[in-house]
Structure 1
Amino acid sequence: MSALHWQKSSYSGSANGCVHLAAAPDGTVKLVESDDPDVIVSTTPEKLHAFMRGVKAGDFDHFV
Structure 2
Amino acid sequence: MLSRLLEAHELILADCHDAAARAQEMGDDGTNDFLVSDVVRTDEPQAWFVAEHLVDTSPVHA
Larger gyration radius, structure 1 or structure 2: 2
Structure number having the greater helix percentage: 2
Structure number with higher relative contact order (C-alpha < 8 Å, ≥ 6 residues apart)? 2
Q: TM-score, normalised by structure 2?
A: 0.30
Q: TM-score, normalised by structure 1?
A: 0.29
